Structure 1
Amino acid sequence: MTDFHTTDILPCHIALTGREVEVLQLIAAGHTNAQIGRQLYIGVNTVKTHVKHLFRKLGAEDRAGAVGNAFRAGLLS
């Protein structure tokens, strides 16, 4: 079995927009897309777009993976 390290799967510098950081923090807090939309005054489809961008940038397939990778990359504490 191969032992992967964060540096193997994540770029050294992940550039997130301010809005993506806000969405990521709310995902990490357990909020749904609808809750995130209400809190940030944006539509659910806009939230979904931000989530899709986060998955791509963080190399994740789901919300848990995105949050885990963000913690490992030092984007969340």
Structure 2
Amino acid sequence: MTRWAGRDRPAFSPDAIHQVYRLSGGVPRRINRVCDLALLAACSEEQQFVTGEVVESVYRDLIPAGSIEQPAAADT
């Protein structure tokens, strides 16, 4: 049996993982901040795991605008 942090299933849904990457740009410090707030939000709402909607909500409502800059588009 596979276990994640003492759980039988991951704490983040596949959509949540995608949203974390999209919103953080893959930067470790940003990933940690978004994930920490998303886990707290999901726990406070008594959810069993973090969904993409929770990640979006945390990013929109709890992270001050401009504190996590979106990565610039690559020049082609």
Under TM normalisation by the shorter chain, which class is it? 0.3 to 0.5
Whose helix fraction is larger, Structure 1's or Structure 2's?
A: 1
Q: TM-score, normalised by structure 2?
A: 0.34
Q: TM-score, normalised by structure 1?
A: 0.34
The structure number with the bigger radius of gyration is: 2
